[in-house]
Amino acid sequence: MSQQYRNPLRNPVHYTTPQLRVGPPATYSAAQRILKGYDYVIVGAGAAGSVLASKLSEDPKETVLLLEAGGDNVNIDEIKLNSRALPLDGRIGLRGRMIGGCTSMNSMIYHHCSKTYFDELASVHGCHGWSYDDLAPYFWRMERFTPSYSWLTESIEKGFLHACENVGIPQVPDINTPTLSSLATAYLPPGVRKRPNLFVACHVHVTKLLIDCLSNDDPTVFGVEFQTHRGGERPELLLLSGIGPEEELSKHRIPIVRANDAVGKNLKDHLATTTAMCKAKPGARLDYLGSTFKAMPSIARYKLFGGGPLSSNAGEAAAFFRSIGPDVESIGSPLAYIHHGDEAAPEGVGMFSLVPISLRPQRKGIITLNSRDAFDHPTIDPKYFSDAEDNDRTFLLVALRVSLRIMRSSALQQYLEPVPVNDDPWSYWWPYSGSDIDRIPDERLLRWMEAKALTLYHPVGTARMDPSPDTSVVDLQCPRSWC
């Protein structure tokens, strides 16, 4: 039987290593030393909030309050991944509730998407100023270090990467270090956290925006209402504050401050087929890190020297390839990734995992309220596999087919062990156990894929940007809202 991880953070798939202290503790009590008012109040210390707080507080004349529903990101042993299980079409969705948000956990992979997609923001959607050439200078400011491949697990460096080359996908160096990095460490390091004009409060949950509807024609947000319990995500917070589709607000008897049909709509998320699992040879896998006893030498090595297996981010390499643009991906990992990492490999068995992903979802999901109670979780429906032209299935099938070609490449096969042939798609090792992977019908792969598909935790879009107030929540300057 495979092992269950009670605390997902002890599973190296979910969380590689504790993060070193990056600044003074940020707690609700720390926020009590604060001012009666602020020039800026930022709700959420995730990917955007961390950067905004850092940049705005560079001006010592401006006061900034950063409110985070989760905890600090330092010396973490265990946390609640989200404090709620999202009803994502029967699939699990997790969010990183801490300083740095999801950038402080997951697989620690940073890359921006294809130039084509940024250019489409400007040419197709009218978001001028957001093309690749407009954004490239800011990418270059962040991307300053490209190391060698020397830190990679051998099965990745000499197996997966060469297997990708064998199927026509060239190697491209990327930015990686052995130290866990996030937007918290990049934009909220000790020097920033100690600024006298920056106040950071954790475990503070914003439940409502305070809006002045009387002073002028345009409603103005002048403050926030918060409690030291659970709060909402951005679209949920807007809906609870009276900003959103009229029908949704009226259904819950929420006074309408500003009707906006785009709030909570346009939800998009990266979907993966589930893991194509291969049986790995000893020495070509990291599954042993799930055992505290077996991991002790690696823990000591990381603590003393900052290297070793625990410096791995689990998803050490990824292949991007085209069906139309670079719209599908396969991540290679020298350990098991089963049921979102909550299940380990069978005792004594090591794995190499390939995770095929569709990068350009076509369907559009939605977030709606269940009640006007800020402590009642919303309904999140991503509408997987529902696009009219069936592009999501098509792209994901391409990703799976290419992953199977990588799997059977001789470069990767040298690190894998055979398993008994089994053509049952519901058996443990299928499709790796298939008698002829190339001849598996599309219909069988599609049924398997749809039954086992999982989210890669990248939901976006429910407060979308657009030049038109009729189809968006924020304008092209982002800090300004059409709401």
Annotated binding site for FAD: 206
Compute the 3-state secondary structure of the chain and give helix, strand, coil in percent, each to the nearest 5.
Answer: 30, 20, 55
Structure-block tokens of residue 325: 């643009």
What whole-number distance in Å separates Cα of residue 438 and Cα of residue 428?
19
The binding site consists of 206
What whole-number distance in Å separates Cα of residue 83 and Cα of residue 212?
32
What whole-number distance in Å separates Cα of residue 188 and Cα of residue 191?
8
Q: Are 54 and 192 in contact (CB under 8 A)?
A: yes
Residue-by-residue DSSP string for 244-284: E-HHHHHHTTPPPSEE-TTTT--BB--EE---EEEEEPTTS
What whole-number distance in Å separates Cα of residue 202 and Cα of residue 99?
8
Q: Are 153 and 183 in contact (CB under 8 A)?
A: no
What SS3 string covers 312-372? CCCCCEEEEECCCCCCEEEEEECCCCEHHHCEEEECCCEEEEEEEEECCCCCCEEEECCCC
Count of beta carbons in the 10 Å neighbourhood of residue 264: 28
What whole-number distance in Å separates Cα of residue 156 and Cα of residue 154?
5
- CA distances 338 to 241, 268, 287, 306, 355, Å, are 39, 23, 12, 28, 10
Closest by CA position to 96, among listed 62, 113, 73:
73
CA-based R_g, the chain, Å? 23
Buried b (16+ CB within 10 A) or exposed e, 10-28: bbbbbbbbbbeebbeebbb
- CA distances 446 to 170, 317, 455, Å, are 28, 25, 16
Count of beta carbons in the 10 Å neighbourhood of residue 355: 23
Count of beta carbons in the 10 Å neighbourhood of residue 190: 11
Closest by CA position to 259, among listed 42, 58, 470, 117:
470
Q: Are 169 and 319 in contact (CB under 8 A)?
A: yes
